[in-house]
Amino acid sequence: MMMRYKKAYFLFLIVLLFTISAGASLSLLNKSHDLLLWNERASGRALVQLVILQQSYLSIMMQYQRGDEVADELLTYYDLTWSAYDVLLKGSKNAYFMSDGWRASKLNNYFTRFKMTDPTKVKLSGELLTVALHNTREAHNYIVELLNFEFQGYSQETHQHDFELVRVNKIMIMGLFGLTFSGTIFLLIIIRERRQMTYLAYHDPLTRLANRSALKEKITALQKKKTSFCALLIDIDRFKAINDSYGHDIGDKLLIRLTEKMTLVCSESDFIARLGGDEFTIICQSKSVVEAMALSLLSITDNVIDIDGKSCDVGMSIGISFSRTKHFAWVDILKEADDAMYQAKEKGGGKYQTYDPAVVTKKIL
């Protein structure tokens, strides 16, 4: 009960940390975004981008004038420069240089001239190309002037905003770390719980052997592949007396000990499962060794088994059945193995018996 309480409390703390970290990170991310937008308008980042692109466009125009094959590059850099103009004019409404109307008007005028030399609409050659080069140089010089003007006007504000951005980012890193840490722990818990649920769905919690569901899937798969196999159904003789005399704790430890010994007898290709109580089933795909396996299993209980100082005198009754085409359901072969096991019990136990459909037996209660 205490473990469940601690686990629930731990999960609560992880969820709380995740929620706080997510909320703080989102808030700081929005603030960081606002600071970045201010820098984009006021520090001249868009101007820098336009200067670089326009310089590249100017260089390609000069190559084009010399006759170099750069028509594709000319179109590409025209589009990039056009986009940079558009971004600067639309996204810099609060920029320092926009406070003087004539500066913005002059920039718009250069943009208008630039659009008049669109290589997709006009053929740049001769005098038109010369004019376009002249206008581009003038525009480039003016934008450099704007860039210097912008940096001078907002140098102090930019410094303050950058300082705040660094501070916010440091705090945000801590928030993201908390988010990542709690999210990872939470994900690991979910994966662990899911694996545990999947494991328990196909395994016996006491012996860690496969359970009835896993046995059903195993037999069904073999039947679909039409693979021949045999089933050994094992019942522990006098196990009820052990539980009645020493208690279920000793009985459980005895089952675990027997499981370990049975596992040693089986090969890697054999499939062993606990049906429940003191009944086990082994699926063996080699009919030639099944009787030798049964003898080895019976030898496990030849001697009295000591469990915590308690002498446990038990035996095994084993029923063996072989897969046949008449088995329509997966349990049919187990029913036959069960009948054979009760035949062994009727003979005094401590034996194995193969299924004989001609023999009619009465099950021992």
- Regarding whether 225 and 91 lie in a shared domain, the answer is no
Overall number of domains in the chain: 2
- Regarding whether 347 and 267 lie in a shared domain, the answer is yes
Q: Which residues pair with 273 in a beta bridge?
A: 210, 281
- How high is the pLDDT of residue 192? 78
- Regarding whether 216 and 167 lie in a shared domain, the answer is no
Q: 60 or 176, which is more confident?
A: 60
Q: In this structure, what token pair is assigned to residue 124? A: 């740049």
- 8 Å CB contact between 176 and 21: yes
- Regarding whether 156 and 11 lie in a shared domain, the answer is yes
User: Residue 262, Cβ neighbours under 10 Å: how many?
Assistant: 23
Q: Residue 288's domain is classified under what CATH number?
A: 3.30.70.270
User: Residue 289, Cβ neighbours under 10 Å: how many?
Assistant: 14
Residue 204 binned pLDDT confidence (cut-offs 50, 70, 90): very high
Name the DSSP letter for residue 119.
Answer: T
Q: In whole angstroms, give the CA distance from residue 242 to residue 245.
A: 5
- Regarding whether 173 and 40 lie in a shared domain, the answer is yes
Q: Is residue 124 domain-resident? A: yes
Q: In this structure, what token pair is assigned to residue 230? A: 């045999």
The one-letter amino acid code at 205 reads P
- Regarding whether 216 and 186 lie in a shared domain, the answer is no
Residue 222 binned pLDDT confidence (cut-offs 50, 70, 90): very high
Q: Is residue 140 domain-resident? A: yes
Q: Is residue 361 domain-resident? A: no
- How high is the pLDDT of residue 306? 95
Residue 236 binned pLDDT confidence (cut-offs 50, 70, 90): very high
Q: 196 or 360, which is more confident?
A: 196
Q: In whole angstroms, give the CA distance from residue 278 to residue 251.
A: 9
- Regarding whether 182 and 128 lie in a shared domain, the answer is yes
Residue in 137, 139, 184, 221 with CA at minimum distance from that of residue 17: 184
Provide the pairing of β-strand 310-312 with 352-354.
unpaired
- How high is the pLDDT of residue 361? 44
Residues making up the chain, counted from first to last? 365
Mean pLDDT of the chain: 81
Q: What is the pTM of this model?
A: 0.53
**Burial group, residue 136, by CB count within 10 angstroms (0-12, 13-18, 19+):** buried
Q: Is residue 207 domain-resident? A: no
Q: Which residues pair with 307 in a beta bridge?
A: 310
Q: In whole angstroms, give the CA distance from residue 284 to residue 267.
A: 9
Q: In this structure, what token pair is assigned to residue 189? A: 């818990």
Q: Which stretch of DSSP H or E encloses residue 159?
A: helix 126-202
- How high is the pLDDT of residue 363? 43
> Cα 163–169–173 angle (5° rounding)?
150
Coil/strand/helix, residue 22: helix
Q: Is residue 363 domain-resident? A: no
Average the pLDDT over each of 113-127, 238-252, 258-272 and give the range with the smallest value.
Answer: 113-127
Q: What is the pLDDT of residues 301-346, one digit of tens each?
A: 999 999 999 999 999 999 999 988 777 789 999 999 999 999 999 9
Q: 121 or 260, which is more confident?
A: 260
Residue in 117, 133, 113, 138 with CA at minimum distance from that of residue 66: 133
Residue 126 pLDDT more than 50? yes
Q: In whole angstroms, give the CA distance from residue 161 to residue 350.
A: 87
| Residue numbers of the domain that contains 62 | 2-193
- How high is the pLDDT of residue 42? 43
- Regarding whether 164 and 17 lie in a shared domain, the answer is yes
